[in-house]
Structure 1
Amino acid sequence: MKKTIMALWNNNMRKPNILYIMCDQFRYDCIRALGNQEIFTPNIDRLVKRGLVFENAYSTCPVCVPARYTVRTGREPALTGCYQNEMPQAMDGLPEEMQDRCGDYLATAMRKEGYYTFGIGKFHTVPEFKEDLGYDLQLNTEELWECPEDRANDAYYSFIRKEHPEYNHIEQLHGERTNMYYVPQVSPLPAELTVESFVADRVIEQLKTVKDKPYFGFVSFIGPHPPCAPPVPFNRMYNPDSIANPLRGKPEIDFMDEQILWMNYLIWADELNDFAARNVKSRYYGEITYIDTCIGRILDAVEAREDSENTLICFFSDHGDHLGDHHAWQKESYFEQSCHIPFLISWPAGSAEWKLEGGRKERQLVCLTDLFGIATQAAGNPQIRDGHSILNVLAG
């Protein structure tokens, strides 16, 4: 398979650009091209048409921080030592430092393969607010700040403070995360100044300036993670009365996972009825459609480059959101709504060799661990780690 990659490069092409686009808490069933007729996602639909859809993609530990360490290390939680949104703890006998026990982070591995690397968005590292993840350019836009120093070091907040001080008084720029956590909201900022727009703008800047090397870009949107606060007019795009009620099983089965009851209580969601659930979902959908427009601007910038055909793009999320299904909210369970994720991969220049034909659907089981191998194999030096060689599987 390495010979196949070398043949691609020798055919008047250099190593492919690689762009990973990640959303937070994006359910697998929220893409119109894949069957959800309630929602509009024209730009993610473009990615569906551009390449391959994995219908059975999963987050093996559907929690924010553990999922992110899996993506950047290619390792499962048993080795990362991260199972919750707290400090990772190594098993006895393993090195204390994450990269000592897991290997280089993905960005570091790609830099060693000659890539210019940039990471922009939410990284959710612990315990450090801004851990060095190996990127040539790393711009953190986090949803929570533990102290004034963290807020000052946040790229998005710094942008608001310096460029748009008229919004500097807003305590929570992404929506109110209090007892309002699952109450439908509207963004306190206009659509062109939200964190999603900021991330897209910075990515587009990178795509316009990187010329002398192939790039590896990691784009991480905070949304549609609650609070669901899309900007005007996306906040009123969906009518709650046109959205289906949550799917619920018998309480004695749904609540066999005691984490569900605890999480519902923790986020003031233990008494939300069907109307409230539909109302929340209408804003969740609005946030997705808004992020879709931001993704569209990024795709336009990719396609404006001469090397757009030789750009591998992968779209995925860290986990989903129950949104009232199974009497549950948030994630942290192995119900489909929590752990089943979107996973789209495309590479037009490598389509024939790797069988990445546009619009194809694949039932192969994949997970976040496989992302490390996809990028490093496309770069010419496969590091599969705890995942599988997905490109090899696709090639037969």
Structure 2
Amino acid sequence: MKPSILLIVSDQHRLDCVGASGSYPVSTPRLDALAAQGATFSSAYTPIPLCTPARQSLLTGRRPETTGNLWNYDLGPRIPALDPASYSWPRELQKLGYRSRYLGKWHVNPDHDPTDFGYDDWVPLDAYDRWRAQQYPDSSLLEDWFGEVDPVPTADSRTHWFADQTADFIREATASGQPWHARLDFLEPHLPCQPTAEFADRFPVDAIPQWRDFEDPLERKPYIQRQQLLNWGVEDYTWEDWAPIVARYYAVIAQLDDAIGRVLDAVDEAGAAADTLVVYTTDHGDMCGSHGMMDKHYVMYDNVVRVPMIMSWPGMIAEGNVIDGFAYNTLDLPPTISTLTGIPAPPGAQGLALFDHVDTGLIPTAALEAREQVVSTYNGQQFGLFIQRMIRTRSWKYVWNPTDVDELYNLDDDPEELVNRIGDDSSTRILADLRKRLYEQLLHDEDSFVENEWMARQLLTGRKLPTRT
């Protein structure tokens, strides 16, 4: 049986801000319910914490360093966007007879829209802007990066307008009798967070607890992290300054969750639930005050690289299944969809299929359970070019910063990543091992940044200064 596919992708939703994580008082009852009826990947990672290359990887199953799509095409130095001639699994679904629609944020190619990559049609972000301008000609937003309350009713907010558009497609496509694929890309909770009053009122500022990693002096860490505070003008912010920003982040996530519920209700009402694979994930997370920092640039903390990923297919994926194997959301989903639908696999796929078919349904693959590490990368851009490569195991995280101090965190003792262990004599052996493993993985993944003797020397012989002198 080939499932219909509902893929919901948000923008900058950190894992500890899913209600079921129990970490902070953010409310996501619909995502929690979706997880309860399917599988939650508790150790899912983005291969790159940046909008455009993450979305490009989600279409191709290939790392941005392999395809050459290193950063956002609309900020900083220009590089070629993803070629529409590239492999795209939605195009393969289209060949198989799937009806498809893409709704919301695109950010893959400035000159080619989703219909050039295999979608039948597209509802872009500015379609909502035009509708809103007609309905609320006197309503405006300041577009302050730190957020504000959206004055329109929730039913007419961007989250709910796109949810309703998606619901309409699901009802129409299900009635046609064809398998369908809907991809809904929310802009939320990307800053600026602009929840409606209905949701903003649920999170009073004085009830917002401080992030556990907020008090970070950034000692012995790369210079660029302290510079980021200056870039955003938050170097003197206390928790009293951050609490209203975090409250709006919580609020817009709760609003997003409510909108997702409208889409899931449409699947149920159309009688399509048993035949539909539902996937929820995000491109990457958001610092939102963690370590005192803003947004996501130039850091590899779990706040930005560890992401929510939920998959549900009633009768096929076991209910309440928490899968702790290391997974990549944007790299593993294309080969997974290939396995579940029978379309051609991404050529040179750098992820793996997450499930195998058995008589009773789907089970996690042995390859997933055997994966011992994940690698995430960053190539700089918005505030100057700065290369980073991260490798994470269960107990350790190493961040290679070729032009600055490296980072090493013992995650068993320091889950908030506050103490950089680079230069600690007791960590010498684990550091050498992680550098070697990172080098081998990057070489395997065709990352050209290690294909020269100078970069190889840093990783293989430890030719790196442990501190700034």
Normalising by structure 1, we get a TM-score of 0.82
Structure 2: how far apart are the matches of 1:290 and 1:111? 32
State which of 119, 127, 130 in structure 2 corresponds to 1:155: 127
Residue 222 of structure 2: aligned partner: 256
Among 88, 106, 121, the alignment partner of 1:137 is: 121
- Given that 2:284 and 2:306 are in contact with CA atoms closer than 8 Å, whether structure 1 keeps it comes out as yes
SS at match of 2:103: strand
Q: CA deviation at 1:233?
A: 1.4
Match of 1:326 in 2: 291
Q: Which residue of 1 aligns with 2:47?
A: 60
Which runs of structure 2 are paired with 1:310-349 in the superposition (5 Å)?
310-332=275-297, 333-349=299-315
Q: Distance in 2 between matches of 1:69 and 1:257?
A: 30
Structure 1 unaligned regions, length at least 5: 1-8, 10-14, 91-95, 142-153, 351-355
Partner of 2:274: 309
Cα 1:380–1:257 change in 2 (3 A) is farther
The aligned residue for residue 6 of structure 1 is none
Contact 2:61 2:335 in 1 (8 A): yes
Report if the CA contact (8 A) 1:321-1:337 is conserved: yes
Residue 18 of structure 1 and its aligned partner are, at CA, apart by 0.7
Residue-by-residue CA offset, 1:252-309 (whole Å, 9 max, x unaligned): 24x5161x44444444433322112121111111101111111111111111122311
Residue 193, structure 1, aligned to residue 193, structure 2? no
C-alpha displacement of 1:130: 4.2
Taking the aligned partners of 1:337 and 1:20, their CA distance within structure 2 comes to 22
Post-superposition shift, 1:338? 0.9
- Decide whether the 8 Å contact of 1:113 with 1:379 is kept in 2: no
What's the C-alpha RMSD, in Å, of the aligned pairs?
Answer: 2.1
Instruction: Select which of 101, 107, 111 maps to 1:118.
Output: 101
How far off its partner does 1:395 sit? 4.7
Determine the structure 2 residue equivalent to 1:358.
319
The 8 Å contact of residues 117 and 136 in structure 1, kept in 2 or not, is answered as yes
Alpha carbons of 1:386 and 1:89: their partners in 2 closer, same or farther (altered >3 Å)?
farther
Paired with 1:109 and 1:176, the residues of 2 have a C-alpha distance of: 42
- 1:340/1:74 Cα in 2 relative to 1: closer, same or farther (>3 Å)? same
Is contact 1:190–1:231 with CA below 8 Å preserved after alignment?
yes
Q: Note the alpha carbon deviations across 1:301-354, whole angstroms, 9 max, x for none.
A: 11112231121111001011111112211013210001110011111132xxxx
Corresponding residue for residue 355 of structure 2: 391
The residue correspondences of 1:369-388 to structure 2 (distance < 5 A) are 369-384=331-346, 385-388=349-352
1:35 aligns with 2:4: no
Contact 2:40 2:320 in 1 (8 A): yes
Contact 2:229/2:235 (<8 A) preserved? yes
C-alpha displacement of 1:169: 4.7
**Number of residue pairs the alignment of both structures matches:** 348
- Counterpart of 1:108 (choices 91, 103, 110) is 91
What is the aligned counterpart of 2:247 among 267, 276, 282? 282
**Correspondent of 1:229 among 188, 191, 194:** 194
Contact 1:25–1:318 (Cα < 8 Å) also in 2: yes
Write the letter of the residue equivalent to 1:378: L
Contact 2:285 2:306 in 1 (8 A): yes
Counterpart amino acid of 1:345? M
| 1:196 shift after superposition | 0.8
Q: Is the 8 A contact 1:63 1:83 kept in 2?
A: no
Aligned counterpart, 1:89: 79
Map Cα deviations across residues 178-214 of structure 1 (whole Å, 9 max, x no partner).
xx312x4101322111111111010010011012211
Q: Provide the C-alpha distance between the structure 2 equivalents of 1:42 and 1:267, rounded to a whole number of angstroms.
A: 33
Structure-2-length-normalised TM-score: 0.70
- Tell me the CA shift for residue 359 of structure 1: 1.1
Work out which of the residue numbers 32, 48, 60 in structure 2 matches 1:73. Answer: 60
Of all paired residues, the percent bearing the same amino acid is 27
CA distance in 1, matches of 2:25, 2:97: 43
Q: Secondary structure at the match of 1:331?
A: coil
* Residue 112 of structure 1: how far off its partner (Å): 1.6
Per-residue deviation at 1:106?
2.9
1:306 counterpart letter in structure 2: G
State the alpha-carbon separation in 1 of the partners of residues 334 and 82 from structure 2: 19
Alpha-carbon separation, structure 1, partners of 2:169 and 2:207? 40
Residue 110 of structure 1 contacts residue 376 of structure 1 at CA under 8 Å; is this kept in 2? no
Q: In the alignment, does 2:170 pair up with 1:207?
A: yes
CA distance in 2 between partners of 1:324 and 1:97 (Å):
32
Comparing 201-210 and 327-336, the one that deviates more: 327-336
Structure 2 unmatched ranges of 5 or more: 357-362, 367-469
Note closer, same or farther for the CA distance 1:80–1:261 as it changes in structure 2 (3 Å cut). Answer: farther
Q: Following TM superposition, by how much is the alpha carbon of 1:170 offset from its aligned partner in structure 2, in angstroms?
A: 4.7
